[in-house]
Homo-oligomer: A and B are copies of this chain.
Amino acid sequence: MGSTGVRIAIDAMGGDHAPAEIVAGAVRAGEELGVTVLLVGDPQQIEAALPPKTNLAQVEIVPAEEAIAMDEEPLNAVRRKRKASINVAMDLVKQQQADAVFSAGHSGAAMASALLRLGRLPGIDRPAIGTVFPTIKAGKPVLILDVGANVDCRPKFLEQFAVMGSAYSQYVLGTPEPKVGLLNIGEEDTKGNEVALRAHQLLKENTQISFIGNAEGRDVLSGDFDVIVCDGFVGNVLLKFAEAVGGVILQILREELPQGLHGQIGTALLKPNLKRIKQRMDHAEHGGALLLGVDGVCLIGHGSSQAPSVFNAIRMAKEAVDNQVLQRLRTQYQALERESG
Kindly name the residue among A183, A193, A241 whose own CB sees the greatest number of chain B CB atoms within 10 A. A241
Q: Is the CB of B281 within 8 A of A270?
A: no
Interface SS majority for chain A: helix
Indicate if A323 sits at the interface (CB-CB under 8 A). Answer: no
In the assembly, what is the distance between CA of A185 and CA of B146, in Å? Answer: 12
**Contact flags A212-249 to B (C-beta < 8 A → 1, else 0):** 00001111111000000011111011111111110011
> Which one of A43-51, A261-269, A303-311 is at the interface?
A261-269
A252 in contact with B281 (CB, 8 Å)? yes
State the CA gap A86–B260 with chains docked (Å). 47
Contacts of A218 in B (CB 8 A): 240-241, 243-244
B281 lies within 8 A of A249 (CB): yes
Contact of A151 among B192, B252, B274 (CB under 8 A): B192
Q: For A183, what are the chain B residues with a Cβ–Cβ distance below 8 Å?
A: 237
Q: Does A3 contact B (CB under 8 A)?
A: no
Q: How far is the CB of A278 from chain B (nearest CB, A)?
A: 10
Residue of B with least CB distance to A220: B241
Is the C-beta of A194 less than 8 angstroms from some C-beta in chain B? yes
State A263–B265 Cα separation when bound (angstroms): 11
B241 touches A136 (CB 8 A): no
* Those 9 A-B pairs whose CB atoms lie nearest each other, nearest first: A217-B240, A266-B269, A217-B241, A218-B244, A266-B270, A151-B193, A217-B237, A266-B266, A185-B236
